[in-house]
Amino acid sequence: MTATTIVFDLDGTLVDTAPDLVASLNHTIAIKNLAPVGYEDLTHLVGQGARVMIARAFALRGSPLADDEIPALLDRFIAHYAAGMPGLSRPYPGLVEALDRLRDAGHLLAVCTNKMEGLARPLIETLGLTRYFTAITGGDTFAVRKPDAAHLTGTIELAGGVAHNALMIGDSINDILAARNAGIPSIAVPFGYSDVAVETLGASTVISHFDELTPELVERLTTRA
């Protein structure tokens, strides 16, 4: 079996970060006395990094931000989120076993997230997962981010792999589109933060638990006819 680069999205795929994202977002919008957002709002807010999430939350509460207000609020979010890490965030069930299994099969593992790299790395570190990944890139690592193919292909290259033998696993349209834009097969997971049913995202397949993520599945999805 040849080494495939298996690239994971972070928020809603590797780790259930929702409680901490919501808490830090509510800490941020509380500065203008806005009503807190809930988990059900998160699927419409998350996906393009903290800056966009903050802007969307203020707009959702009827108080859209001027561009020059965003940097200070982003700092407020980052300080709160970084101080609480890992908070209530936990890897999804079966993840660690799947990472062990895939690594033992000789595959390269990487993270490609639209979260800022400076938040993604310490989160992965505090959860004890850094050692699995040969590359971790964020929404601000390159000039572009998911769904741009170059974020994904740049991650694969940093991981020491090749785009023609790679697989993307994610919870949202940005992940599946980035894979499609790069000509890479993809797996969608339904336990994350998609605002639509993951079956409609156009992934190569859907798995509902990491127990299903086996070397055999990787082989099947990456072997070209």
Ligand X SMILES: O=C(O)COP(=O)(O)O
Active-site positions read: 9
How near is the Cβ of 13 to ligand X at its closest, in Å? 7
Query: Other CB atoms closer than 10 Å to residue 24's CB: what's the count?
Result: 24
In the region spanning residues 152 to 181, those forming contacts with Mg ion, defined by CB under 5 A, are 171-172
C-alpha distance from residue 199 to each of 7, 29, 113, 204 (Å): 20, 33, 21, 10
171 is in an annotated binding site: yes
Short-list 30, 24, 66, 31, CA closest to 45:
24
Which three-class secondary structure state does DSSP give residue 112? strand
Concatenate the DSSP letters of all residues of 122-161 into one string.
HHHHHTT-GGG-SEEE-TTTSSS-TTSHHHHHHHHHHHT-
Instruction: Give the amino acid at 135.
Output: A
| C-alpha radius of gyration, the chain, whole number | 17
Using CB under 5 A as the binding rule, whether residue 20 contacts Mg ion is answered as no
DSSP 8-state secondary structure symbol assigned to residue 85: T
Binding residues with Mg ion: total (CB under 5 A): 5
Q: Which of ligand X, Mg ion, none is residue 20 near (CB under 5 to 8 Å by kind)?
A: none
How near is the Cβ of 35 to Mg ion at its closest, in Å? 25
- Chain contacts with ligand X (rule: CB under 6 A): 9-12, 46-49, 53, 113-115, 172
* Binding window for Mg ion (CB under 5 A); candidates: 10-18, 85-93, 130-138, 176-184: 10-18
Short-list 218, 215, 210, CA closest to 189:
210
Check if the beta carbon of residue 29 is closer than 8 Å to that of residue 53.
no
Using CB under 5 A as the binding rule, whether residue 147 contacts Mg ion is answered as no
Q: Which of Mg ion, ligand X, none is residue 113 near (CB under 5 to 8 Å by kind)?
A: ligand X
How near is the Cβ of 216 to ligand X at its closest, in Å? 26
Beta bridge partners of 90: 16
Binding residue for Mg ion, selected from 8, 11, 129, 141, defined by CB under 5 A: 11
**Closer by beta carbon to Mg ion, 107 or else 146:** 146
Q: Which of ligand X, Mg ion, none is residue 4 near (CB under 5 to 8 Å by kind)?
A: none
Q: Which residues are annotated as a binding site for Mg(2+)?
A: 9, 11, 171
Under the rule (CB under 5 A), what is the footprint of Mg ion?
Answer: 9, 11-12, 171-172
